[in-house]
Amino acid sequence: MAAKPTRNPAAPSIYRPGLFNGKVAIVTGGGTGIGKSIAYELAFLGCTVVIASRNLERLQEAADKIQADVKAANPTSEGSVHAIACNIRSEEQVSNLVDETLTKFKRVDFLVNNAGGQFRSLLEDVSLKGWQAVMDTNLNGTFLMTKKVYHAYMKEHGGSIVNIIIVLDKGSPCLAHSAAARAGIESLSKSLSVEWASSGITLNCVAPGIILSSGVENYPSGAEMFEYAAEKATAAKRMGSVEEVSASVLYYLSPAGAYVTGDTMHVDGGWHLMGPLLDVPQHENNHPYGTSKL
């Protein structure tokens, strides 16, 4: 039977206690799954964390739960977790999120653009509305958050931005719309890592593979489909954990990542080396040019 997709509150961090004391982070989509794990570990290590998503009631519940788990696991932690509602598709709400964070905490050292959304579908069945929704949530939302944080704080003070994308190396059949948006995010990150280097800003991406997170509950088969896919398509022959993703994100945010920018880290058990999860039907519709006669 599949394990329940959640972070273990007692999971130790590989980083030293107090590493992020005095730092402030914004984590979009920080109330569930990978984002929640990132928020937990940052707070565990002393960071003041603002988590953001659209539903304030659920977000506040998540913030309270993360805070309680942090204090139970590390009573001496200076970290704290705070909820601010924000739809990252809205420029006004993004601006309010960053401004409120700066009003309360005076700084934004880290931005983790984790919020996103997608649905499985062949591209031929994706409507323009569906395409635009994925672009707005992923690419445009990342653009709005990143630009606002830059102008409001990081341009003058520096900082680190990590964008959560998907594994893109061999294409993403049935997720072409999401892949297009995430490829845009990766290219944006590389471009800005040069444009904004003189401000002391690093930008990197983390590409999780098949991860056991709360997101698997959105699919009828739950974790079982993902367990099968991980066994078939990863070198590690297993699903990844949210802790493995959050630890990778924190590498970029930590002093160890100071000399790394414009990079993408695969946290996927080798999935990007194994190929996409879509079998091409047998066909004779690719016609050769020439006859190869010598």
Per-residue model confidence as pLDDT tens digits over 1-43: 444 445 565 567 999 999 999 999 999 999 999 999 999 999 9
| Among candidate residues 112, 113, 105, 114, the one with its CA nearest the CA of residue 78 | 105
Per-residue model confidence as pLDDT tens digits over 149-167: 999 999 999 999 999 998 8
8 Å CB contact between 236 and 269: yes
Q: Does residue 60 belong to any structural domain of this protein?
A: yes
Domain range holding 190?
24-265
CATH number where 197 lies: 3.40.50.720
Phi, psi of 8 (to 5 degrees): -75, 115
| Among candidate residues 99, 56, 62, the one with its CA nearest the CA of residue 81 | 62
Q: Does residue 40 belong to any structural domain of this protein?
A: yes
pLDDT, position 1 = 40
Per-residue model confidence as pLDDT tens digits over 228-270: 778 888 888 898 899 999 999 999 999 999 999 999 999 999 8
Task: Classify residue 292 as exposed, middle or buried by CB count within 10 Å of its CB (0-12, 13-18, 19+).
Answer: exposed
Please tell me the distance from the alpha carbon of residue 239 to that of residue 145, in angstroms, as a whole number: 30
Q: Does residue 220 belong to any structural domain of this protein?
A: yes
User: Average pLDDT, stretch 130-145?
Assistant: 95
160 forms beta bridges with 110, 202
Q: Does residue 286 belong to any structural domain of this protein?
A: no
pTM (predicted TM-score): 0.89
| Among candidate residues 132, 138, 188, 191, the one with its CA nearest the CA of residue 166 | 138
% of the chain residues with pLDDT over 70: 89
Q: Does residue 285 belong to any structural domain of this protein?
A: no
Model confidence at 198, in pLDDT bands (50, 70, 90)? Answer: very high
Q: Does residue 125 belong to any structural domain of this protein?
A: yes
Radius of gyration of the chain (CA): 20
Is the pLDDT score of 213 beyond 50?
Answer: yes
Q: Does residue 277 belong to any structural domain of this protein?
A: no
pLDDT, position 3 = 46
Contacts of 262 (CB under 8 A, 6+ apart): 189, 190, 193, 194, 203, 204
pLDDT, position 123 = 87
What does pLDDT average to over the chain?
90
Tell me how many degrees the CA angle 266-271-274 measures, rounded to the nearest 5: 135
Please tell me the distance from the alpha carbon of residue 27 to that of residue 38, in angstroms, as a whole number: 8
What's the total number of domains in the chain? 1
Model confidence at 284, in pLDDT bands (50, 70, 90)? Answer: confident
Q: Does residue 7 belong to any structural domain of this protein?
A: no
pLDDT, position 20 = 98
8 Å CB contact between 40 and 70: yes
Is the pLDDT score of 44 beyond 70?
Answer: yes
- Any idea which of 23-27, 31-35, 65-69, 223-227 has the lowest mean pLDDT? 223-227
